[in-house]
Structure 1
Amino acid sequence: MGLVTAAIPFFLLAVLIELALDRWRGWGLYRLNDAIGSLGAGILSRILGLVRVGILILVYAPLYQWLEPTYLALGISWSIGNPWHLVLAVIAYDFCYYWKHRFSHEINIFWAEHLVHHQSEDYNLTTALRQSSDLVPLGWIFYLPLLLIGMPWEILVTAGALDLIYQFWVHTQKFPKVRWMEWILVTPSNHRVHHAQNKVYVDRNYGGVLIIWDRLFGTYQEELDDEPCIYGVRKPLNTFDPLAANLQHFKRMWLDALHTKSWKEKLTLWFRATGYRPADAEAAMPVPSGDLDNFHRFDPQIPRSLRWYALVQHLIYSAATLALLAGASELSYGTITLMVSMLVVGLVVNGRILDGEARSRHWELARLALLAATLPLLPPVVWLPAVAYCLASGAVWWLLVFGNKDDTVTPVRN
């Protein structure tokens, strides 16, 4: 089990603590739909990692082995048991992460992957878990320079995990600005800036652990007392469907490539500056940016009973994901793929329920029927609980959607 997977229970515990404080203190940092949308994106990222090959290791490990005699000749030797080597590895990794992160904001194709992490219009610890699924993995190329210092792939993976785990805690609004920390480390204050869509804050503070890279390369911006952060992206997602979140910018670029008449534009728009669109495609399909002077978060109102249903379903998906991650080594690739597919369908439909999508009333029944139909292909140990789950969920959903006409709407604070 990797470090990030092992840390997931602690992440979830921290989320529960912040949520409890939010409700006790009345901060208004959490909305159920947005939190589930972010956590759903995090689940999607982790489970899709079970069915795809990690390209970084696929490329990096053979290159390291090829260069290993040269490293030995030069006396370059890393030890994962040496804490100073690990500190140096995290610093080196974070330098590469800075440039990867910066390019992810500056180039269309890279932004399409990274955009997912910024779509939440709230800012709390669930935002940290809102990760891209790397549908078109390209970020690995930024870590190849670590071969120049002979970093073994095992240390690279460990440094990357530590870098990512550190970034969890900075996604909170309730940790104050600490002056000395702002000069050296990424903190909640300077990372709030990074997630804000205010003009003064856009494309700033790219560091993962260290903020010194931003100070060195001119991308640092302090959080201003007179400029409250407005979170989210300029072209809002407006859905809690995590698959749609991953496809948002890819879909827009694909449609632009179809509509533009210029073959040069069709081929190059993917690698142009973030937000670039061919003039003829933009004229045919204008996509206005959000009005920050009259900003309203996407917050569809659905019956309270459906909110509770979506929450329970999300908790079940979370438990199933943790079980799958823990037991994946004992399952065949085909079984893992099927289980991942069922979870993806569940996450998508759950997001659409929170959107208030009318068609989700039929989609949820179809999802449960599909899950029941695939049971013979799943391990026998899950048959009984899966049948009970399908019957119970189907009965509750039928009563809520087709039998209850008197639900009231839950008010949500903006």
Structure 2
Amino acid sequence: MGLVTAAIPFFLLAVLIELALDRWRGWGLYRLNDAIGSLSAGILSRILGLVRVGILMLIYIPLYQWMLPTYQDLGIAWSMDNPWHLLLAVIAYDFCYYWKHRISHEINIFWAEHLVHHQSEDYNLTTALRQSSDLVPLGWIFYLPLLLIGMPPELLITAGAIDLIYQFWVHTQKFPKVRWMEWLLVTPSNHRVHHAQNKVYVDRNYGGVLIVWDRLFGTYQEELEQEPCIYGVRKPLNTFDPLAANLQHFKRMWLDAVYTKSWKEKLTLWFRATGYRPADAEAAMPVPSCDLVHFRRFDPEIASGLRWYALAQHLIYSGATLALLWYGKHLTWGTATLMVLMLVVGLVVNGRILDGEVRSRSWELARLSSLVVSLPLMPSALWAPVTGYSILSMTVWCLLVFSGKNDTVNSVRN
């Protein structure tokens, strides 16, 4: 079991504690739909990792083994048991992470992957779990320089997990600014800046653990009392569907590439500065930025019964995900893929329910029916619980949307 997977229960406990404090103190940091949207993106990221090979290790391990005689000749010998080696590994990894993170904000195709983490218009601990699914994995490139210092693959994986786990706690609004920490470490204050879309804050504070990289390379920005952070992205997502979240910028670039008449633009727009669009495509398909002066978060109004239903479904998906992460290695690849596909469909439909998408009525029925039809493909131990879950969910869903009591799903989407 990896460090990140082992940390998931503690992440969820921390979220529950912050949520309880939010409700008790009346902070207003949490909205059900946005929190579920962020957590769903995190679930999607983790479960897709079960059915694909990690590109970084696929390339890094053979190169490391090829260079191993050279490391031995030079006397380079890292040890997982040496805490100083682990500290140096985290520092080296974080340096590479800084440049990966920075380029992810500066180049279109890299931003398409990283964008997911910034789409939430709230800022709380669920935002930390809102991770990209790496549908087009490119970030591994930035960690290959660690071969130059002979870092073993197992130490690289551990350092990366520590770097990611550290970043969880900085996604909160209620930890105050601590002056000495702001000079050395990534903190909630300077990371709030990173997630803000205010002009003064955009593209700043890229460090994962250490903020010193930003101070050294001129990308540091302090959180200003007179400039409250407005969270989200300038081209808002306007859906809680985690798959759509991962495809948002890819879809826009693809449409631009198809529409523009210039072959040069078709081939290069992917690698141009973030937000770059061919002039003819932008004129034909304008995508307005949100108005920060009159900023309104995407918050569709749906019946309370549907909100409770979506929450219950999300809790079931979360439990199924934890079970899959813990026991997935005992399943065949085909069975694991089927389980992942079912979860992906559930997350997508649940997001659309929260959007106020009227078509989600029939989509949810189709999803539940497909579960029953797929029973023969599942392990026999799941037949009874999946059948019971499907029948109960279908009954509740029909009562909610077809009984006439809540037969309108209001939405503020344009």
Task: Tell me, in whole angstroms, the C-alpha distance in 1 between the residues paired with 2:194 and 2:150.
Answer: 32
| Displacement of 1:12 | 0.1
TM-score of the two chains, using structure 1 as the length reference: 0.98
| Displacement of 1:404 | 4.0
Amino acid across the alignment from 2:98: Y
Task: Tell me, in whole angstroms, the C-alpha distance in 2 between the residues paired with 1:163 and 1:3.
Answer: 11
Tell me which residue corresponds to 2:94: 94
Tell me which residue corresponds to 1:361: 361
Is 1:63–2:63 an aligned residue pair?
Answer: yes
Residue by residue over 1:314-354, the C-alpha shift from the partner in whole angstroms, topping out at 9 and shown as x without a partner, is: 00000000000100111000000000000000000000000
Tell me which residue corresponds to 1:18: 18
Task: Tell me, in whole angstroms, the C-alpha distance in 1 between the residues paired with 2:329 and 2:192.
Answer: 38
Task: Tell me, in whole angstroms, the C-alpha distance in 1 between the residues paired with 2:95 and 2:334.
Answer: 38
Query: How do 1:14-413 residues align onto structure 2 when only pairs under 5 Å count?
Result: 14-406=14-406
| Displacement of 1:406 | 4.9
Q: What is the number of residues matched between the two proteins? A: 412
Residue by residue over 1:282-337, the C-alpha shift from the partner in whole angstroms, topping out at 9 and shown as x without a partner, is: 00100010000000000000000000000000000000000001001110000000
Amino acid across the alignment from 2:72: L
Task: Tell me, in whole angstroms, the C-alpha distance in 1 between the residues paired with 2:383 and 2:13.
Answer: 30
Partners of 1:314 and 1:350 within 8 A in 2: yes
Amino acid across the alignment from 2:62: P
Task: Tell me, in whole angstroms, the C-alpha distance in 1 between the residues paired with 2:407 and 2:29.
Answer: 25
Partners of 1:116 and 1:245 within 8 A in 2: yes
Amino acid across the alignment from 1:259: Y
Task: Tell me, in whole angstroms, the C-alpha distance in 1 between the residues paired with 2:404 and 2:364.
Answer: 16
Partners of 1:183 and 1:212 within 8 A in 2: yes
Task: Tell me, in whole angstroms, the C-alpha distance in 2 between the residues paired with 1:85 and 1:372.
Answer: 52
| Displacement of 1:216 | 0.1
Task: Tell me, in whole angstroms, the C-alpha distance in 2 between the residues paired with 1:324 and 1:118.
Answer: 27
| Displacement of 1:391 | 0.2
| Displacement of 1:240 | 0.1
Q: What's the RMSD between the two structures over aligned residues?
A: 1.3
Partners of 1:119 and 1:236 within 8 A in 2: yes
Q: Which runs of 5+ in 2 are unaligned?
A: none
| Displacement of 1:409 | 9.2
Task: Tell me, in whole angstroms, the C-alpha distance in 2 between the residues paired with 1:301 and 1:65.
Answer: 56
Q: Match of 2:167, SS?
A: helix
Q: Which runs of 5+ in 1 are unaligned?
A: none
Partners of 1:105 and 1:111 within 8 A in 2: yes
Task: Tell me, in whole angstroms, the C-alpha distance in 1 between the residues paired with 2:318 and 2:9.
Answer: 10
Amino acid across the alignment from 1:206: Y
Task: Tell me, in whole angstroms, the C-alpha distance in 2 between the residues paired with 1:63 and 1:407.
Answer: 59
Distance change >3 Å, CA 409–CA 137, structure 1 → 2: closer
Partners of 1:305 and 1:407 within 8 A in 2: no
Task: Tell me, in whole angstroms, the C-alpha distance in 2 between the residues paired with 1:371 and 1:9.
Answer: 27
Task: Tell me, in whole angstroms, the C-alpha distance in 1 between the residues paired with 2:56 and 2:91.
Answer: 19
| Displacement of 1:99 | 0.1
TM-score of the two chains, using structure 2 as the length reference: 0.98
Task: Tell me, in whole angstroms, the C-alpha distance in 2 between the residues paired with 1:54 and 1:319.
Answer: 24
Task: Tell me, in whole angstroms, the C-alpha distance in 1 between the residues paired with 2:275 and 2:287.
Answer: 11
| Displacement of 1:8 | 0.2
Task: Tell me, in whole angstroms, the C-alpha distance in 1 between the residues paired with 2:286 and 2:91.
Answer: 43
